[in-house]
Amino acid sequence: MNEKITLFLNSDLLENYLIGATSKKEAELVETYISKYPEVEHAYNTLQHNLEIVSKYHAVEAPASVLENVYNAIAEETEDTPVLPLKVKTRRRAVFLRYTSIAASLIAVIFAGASSIFYIQNQELKEENQVVVDEIFDLRSDIDMNNKKLDELMAQFKQLNNPETQKYVIKGNNRAKNLKTVAYINPKEKTSMIDVVSLPQLPKEQCYQIWAELEGKMVNLGILDEADRQLRAIPYTENALGLNITIEPKGGNTNASLENSVAEISLKSRD
């Protein structure tokens, strides 16, 4: 191998020609060397073979219509221009490879872009769906809560309108003149409810507590709070003789402080 061929093969001209990165003058020089020197032709064929292997390894399968579109584009560009045969057979193959390489690259770019768009849209759709699911869950929770409150309200309404329900108005004595509560007791259904109408304000360390009076015993029925002014259930006490409201330490007491009684009422049968 002479020095001229060695210098040529050591340059990048052959590789650049193979991928279509040479100028017209450089391409003509490479084609001359390929057609004139067998060593150069062999090197070119080897490079071409290796390029095909790499291209197949990294190839992205293109839609069937791509090749047809490429042919149509070439046909439109050369419709009015006669196609001249190249001097070297390998030149046509290089041109074809160049077009297919460009087409494959464009397809890969389009595919990557489309995949990114679809991914973003999919993420946004997932987020929107999650928001809708959360809103539906919250709505169902609200509906369940409202239905529960409605059921409780209807039960209280039925109890108040039950002919067996007895109403007791409990008013405060001189120690709590503005105190007023209403008790609703149904001995047949064994239910009790109380409605706090008004409670005089107490120091923070004290509270009102309601008791059921039995023979020689006071049963705790709970704490009364001005902030909780609504009809609510209290424990039913069988055979209770009366109800008593006392002032107790904050949090309530286990035993009634009868000396601090502010309201009481006797429970009498109304049969």
pLDDT per residue as tens digits for the range 166-216: 889 999 998 888 899 989 898 888 888 888 888 998 999 999 999 999 887
Q: For residues 171 and 130, which has the higher predicted lDDT (pLDDT)? A: 171
What is d(CA 2, CA 6) in angstroms, rounded to the nearest whole number?
A: 6
Cα 33 to Cα 13, 43, 50: the distances in Å are 11, 11, 20
Tell me which of 7-16, 94-103, 139-148, 232-241 is least confident.
Answer: 94-103
pLDDT category at 228 given cuts 50, 70, 90 is: low
pLDDT at 133: 76
pLDDT of the residue at 106 = 57
- Mean pLDDT of the 142-149 span: 79
| Mean pLDDT for the chain overall | 77
Q: For residue 109, what pLDDT is reported? A: 56
> Which amino acid appears at position 75 of this protein?
A
For 42-101, write each residue's pLDDT tens digit: 888 887 766 665 555 445 555 555 556 656 666 665 555 555 444 444 555 555 555 556
Query: How much of the chain, in percent, has pLDDT values that exceed 90?
Result: 16
Is the pLDDT score of 271 beyond 80? no
pTM above 0.85, yes or no: no
- 131-142 mean pLDDT: 78
Strand partners, 243: 212, 265
* pLDDT given for residue 57 in this prediction: 45
Q: Is residue 21 predicted with pLDDT exceeding 60?
A: yes
Matching residue, tokens 């067996």: 164
**Burial class of residue 18, CB neighbours in 10 A (0-12, 13-18, 19+):** buried
DSSP one-letter code for 259: G
| Separation in Å, CA 25 to CA 9, 61, 211, 234 | 17, 34, 112, 104
% of residues, the chain, pLDDT over 70: 68
Give 157-216 as a 3 state SS string.
HHHHHCCCCEEEEEECCCCCCCCEEEEEEECCCCEEEEEEEECCCCCCCEEEEEEEEECC
* pLDDT higher than 60, residue 254: yes
